[in-house]
Amino acid sequence: MAHQNWGTNRLTPPLLFMLSCAICRLILSNYFASLGSSYSLAAAAAAVAAIVFLGNRIHYRFWDWITTEPRRLPPGPPRWPIVGNLLQLGQLPHRDLAALCDKYGPLVYLRLGSVNAITTNDPSIIREILVHQDDVFASRPRTLAAVHLAYGCSDVALAPLGPRWKRMRRICMEHLLTTKRLESFARHRAEEAWHLVRDVWARCQDGRPINMREVLGAFSMNNVTRMLLGKQYFGAGTAGPDEAMEFMHITHELFWLLGVIYLGDYLPIWRWIDPSGCEKKMREVEKRVDDFHASILQEHRNKKAQLKGDGDDEMDFVDILLSLPSEDGKAHMDDVEIKALIQDMIAAATDTSAVTNEWAMTE
């Protein structure tokens, strides 16, 4: 308790650090001076550097601990060192979280490795979080999958709430998702609906089983890619077989990796080991996705150069993004932002729509 009476004249962290370094240097210089060899001097320098580094880290941790007031946290279960409450979540974490809320109260604090988290099952608290405290909780966590597969969270779905996110959202609403723009693709949607009916009818005639998620997923994907990229990638599509196959592969791997709960997000040391090779796989898919998007942009630039701006009604979303007027001498959107937006729209408008349609038909 003595440190509480130091007042304003107590030593600051830099002064304490300098004092610690001076003491270490004095002790080590006296010891290694007696050895008198160049090897000993090199070892002394390395030892001093290591001690200074570790002492600095430990000192600042200790200083924060004695000067920071305890945070007022909600109740929660006891935590293990390093892993926190991770071991208390099983194969069905939603049930485990519900059980913790029943035991500790409507708002529960959890330490998931190095990540602070809260969980609740109380409607009034949920309303407070989603309505009254929306600005605080709006940003999504910056996971490794988001960094590798969403261009460093440069998209709309994963970017933190701020001026960049508002600008990207404004571009979507003003240039891509207007009523006039969506109506211009009505013919494409009607054609895709006709392709869907013919495909289902052909399968019924041949007695083949129908996987509704697969059929509806292809229908949603073709609708989106025709508006977004000007191509079909499923069925009798306009894209070549190699390009369609690459698109299907990277889309499948992208969705799978974005849905993986990776321990490296909670235990940084896990990234050094990476026994399953998950982060390595993320980097590989990241490169394949970026190469695919780069080829799409180059193809649209070549088409734009040939057409010289004719046929505005036939422009897809990528054409529109590439033709936006510049701001302050810079492009309205750089390539990274366009790629991230393409990926967002494909991810948001395909899997979710297919699952929604499947459940609607099931009911």
**CATH 3.30.210.10: does it fit domain 163-362?**
no
Those residues whose C-beta lies under 8 Å from the C-beta of residue 31, and which sit 6 or more positions away, are 44
Dist CA 58 CA 20 (whole Å): 11
Q: Where along the chain do its domains lie?
A: 2-67, 71-138, 163-362
The whole model's pTM is what?
0.70
φ/ψ of 74, rounded to 5, equals -65, 160
User: What is the rounded CA–CA span in Å between residue 147 and residue 150?
Assistant: 6
Which is nearest to 188 in space by CA: 220, 211, 216, 214?
A: 220
Which residues are CB-contacts of 257 (< 8 A; sequence separation ≥ 6)? 145, 149, 278, 281, 282, 285
Q: Using CA atoms, how far apart are residues 148 and 283, in angstroms rounded to an integer?
A: 6
Give bridge partners of residue 109 from the DSSP assignment: 118
CB burial readout 273-296, b (16+ within 10 A) else e: eeeeebbebbeebbeebbebbeeb
The per-residue pLDDT string of the chain (363 residues; one tens digit each, 9 = 90 and over) reads: 333 333 333 444 454 455 555 555 555 555 555 555 554 555 555 555 555 555 565 555 555 555 565 678 899 999 998 899 999 998 899 999 999 999 999 999 999 999 999 999 999 999 999 999 988 888 888 889 888 988 888 888 888 888 888 888 888 888 888 888 888 888 888 988 898 888 889 888 888 888 887 888 888 888 888 888 888 887 655 666 677 778 878 888 888 888 888 888 999 888 888 888 888 999 999 999 999 999 999 988 888 888 765 555 578 889 888 888 776 656 678 889 899 988 888 877 666 777 787 788 777
